[in-house]
Structure 1
Amino acid sequence: MDVTTITAAYQSLKSVKDLLAAVFEAKVDAEAKPKILEAQAQLGEVQDTLFALREQLFQLQEERNQLKSELAASEAWLSKLNQYELSQASGGGIVYRYKGEPIHFACPSCINKQQIHILQDNRTISGKYRCTGCNSEFPIEPRRKVEPLPTQHHWPSEG
């Protein structure tokens, strides 16, 4: 049942109610008048019920549209998330790794908020990458060993 059907039923009942009112106003015997009044009252109740049903149907349709929108957003998010897998990076950090190319990592904290932020290399020896969304750092690559630079001491001789 849709709004159009309910509206048509409502209008039909209104017409019948108006017709009964016209019959009532015409010269009818005293026995028919109470029956006509009772029929008018029942038709009024049916009209009220149809009106309430129409309003309820409208609210349900609005709710359905909202739920469809939320479902579409959820499906879009899951589609994006399925491109990543939770993994442990060689540096020990637990992050989301992109399954395709180019290989990159995403912040697990931001993914929990339904956001994807690609981790960026800090370009330091620590091997940590920083999230562009929440600034968290994750050990992605093993810590690089620092080789000391060879130095020669040239001391001026005194003499």
Structure 2
Amino acid sequence: MFLPDAAATALLADALATTQPDLAVVHLHGDLGAGKSTLARAWLRALGVSGPVRSPTYTLVERYPLASGGEALHLDLYRIGDAGELEFLGLDDADARLWLVEWPERGLGALPVPDLEVHLGVEGDGRSCRLAFRGVAGESWLAALDERRRLRMLPEPSP
């Protein structure tokens, strides 16, 4: 799909947030500037997170309490050297209902398996986006999106 602007990215984030399973792990793939943090920020806003939504570029992880209970974790693993460094982030005791992980390939083997992989890329003035749902939870998530026709609300690519 094509996301021509931040508003379309927010629509996608809202569709994914309102249909996500109770426990969701999302791996966000894409080069620098592809829109991973923009999507994560819009997703957290769609879940009702208010106040500052910081990029975890330097902190590696930001935690956000959710109104529905538990917390959302937003990780940016760009700056870690290897997956073993995740051990020092205190993620084992997290009551995470949502994991939004940027640069997940740097934490392979130490991260939960994704229910959804989002692949973003720069395309002209907008972003290309490909969703890959994984496992039983991912398939249920896709079915919920389809049932509610949430992705049909996104703009069509221009010719």
TM range (shorter): under 0.3
TM-score normalized with structure 2 length: 0.21
Larger Rg: 1
Structure number with the higher strand fraction is 2
Instruction: Tell which has more relative contact order, 1 or 2 (C-alpha 8 A, sep 6+).
Output: 2
Task: Name whichever structure is richer in helix by fraction.
Answer: 1
* TM-score, normalised via structure 1 length: 0.21
